[in-house]
Each structure stands twice: as C-alpha cells, then as structure tokens.
Amino acid sequence: MRLLLAEDEKSLSKAIITILQKNNYSADAVYDGEEALDYLASGNYDGVILDIMMPKLDGICVLKRLREQGNTIPVLMLTAKSEVDDKVLGLDSGANDYLTKPFNTKELLARIRAMTRNQNEQMDSKMKFGNVVLDRSTFELSSPNGNFRLANKEFQMMETLMMNPRRLISAERFLEKVWGYDSEVEINVVWVYISYLRKKLAALHANIQIKAQRNAGYSLEET
C-alpha cells in the first residue's frame, strides 16, 4: 500500500516515513500543500496523511480541493491543534479521521489501517491468474506447488501485474508507482525485481510468466 505524507516539519516527516516503511508501507513525503496536490494528481496513492498547518496551502484547503475534484482517497488529518472546532472542520471537509500531535506510533498505524480498511474491503483480498494466487493481506504468492511471502516492493509489482493481466506495463510506470515519480532510483532496479518475481514463479511451477517486450515493458501472460 502506498501513502503520501504531507508534513512541513522535516524531522517529524522523516520519523513518520521510517515508521511507515518499517510496517510495509511505501511512502512519499512532501512539505507543503501545493506539492501534495501535485503528487496526488498522479493518482497512485491508497491514502494520504495531511498536516493542517502547512505553507502555500494548508491541509484543509488541500482536502477541500480533493473532494471538489471527486477524489475519494482516504485522508488522515494530522495537527498540533486539539481544539474541537479544528477537528470538526477537518471531518466536515471530508477527512476520514483525525490525529493530534504528539501521537503514539501504534495509534498512528491503527488509524491508517482503519481509514484504508473500507477501500481494502472493496477489493478482493486474493487475486488469481492462472494457477497463481496473490494474497493482498499477507503478501503471499502461492500455487498448488508452494508459496512465498513477497517483500514490499515485490508485492507491489506483482499486484500491478495481476491487476493488469496481458497488458504491457512500462519500466517507467513501475518506477513511478512503486518507488515514486521523483525517486532517484535507477531504472535497472525494475529489471532486478522482475528477475526476483520470475524466479519465484518458476519455483512455484506457475502456468503464468512475466514477458518482456523490448523498449515497451512487461506483461503477465499465461504459458
């Protein structure tokens, strides 16, 4: 699952990103409201954590613009303010939940799980193509011949492939979706992870394979 964090206090932002990554979330950080809207325009996020007090555009303005655009992405508001009126304003503007700083790590993770739960429940927890099943809740890739628990980025790449069977997905698209469109990671990291997934599919004796089309991308095909 990929999250966007919009928090202008960089030390806190870094700490939250570390927490998220250690709990198998892919996360990007931005530091003002305008940047948050730019990132969210990519449409590749499963949830967003918005600080209310940010430069350029505050969190409430960002939230209102998202909802005016019809964007229903789950939003957790984050602020140092504890006044009831601020909480009410955030919730009335379309936030899914509200968390006041300072907060406990366990509470942050619980609120993220809660705000994304409905979205997850709308999707089948298990995806199947050929004789292979990908379990979204456990990151497990399995066939009648065995199973593997995928690492976070392996899972995101396999999920993307299984959501788009027989469709070409470019290496650039993988890089943008899994690592973030401003990532400094080299394109060859995609090839490395494709290789990891191919080896796991072969070990599972899968009747599907990841095919490459030169200068075009990768697709998941039945053998």
3-class DSSP assignment, residue 172 = helix
Using only C-alpha atoms, the chain has a radius of gyration, in whole angstroms, of 19
Asked whether the predicted pLDDT for residue 223 surpasses 90, the reply is no
Confidence (pTM): 0.62
The answer to whether the CB of 146 falls within 8 A of the CB of 202 is no
Asked if the model's pLDDT at residue 107 lies above 90, the reply is yes
Residue 118: predicted pLDDT: 64
Question: For residue 181, is pLDDT > 70?
Answer: no
Ordered by where they begin, the domains of the chain are 2-122 (3.40.50.2300), 126-222 (1.10.10.10)
SS3 28: strand
Q: What is the pLDDT of residue 24?
A: 79
pLDDT(121) > 60:
no
- Confidence bin at 6 (pLDDT 50/70/90): very high
State phi, psi for 99 to the nearest 5 degrees. Answer: -135, 130
Whether 26 contacts 1, CB under 8 Å: yes
Each residue of 136-145: pLDDT tens digit? 878 899 999 9
| CA angle (96 as vertex; 94, 98 as ends), nearest 5 | 105
CA distance 47 to 12: 18
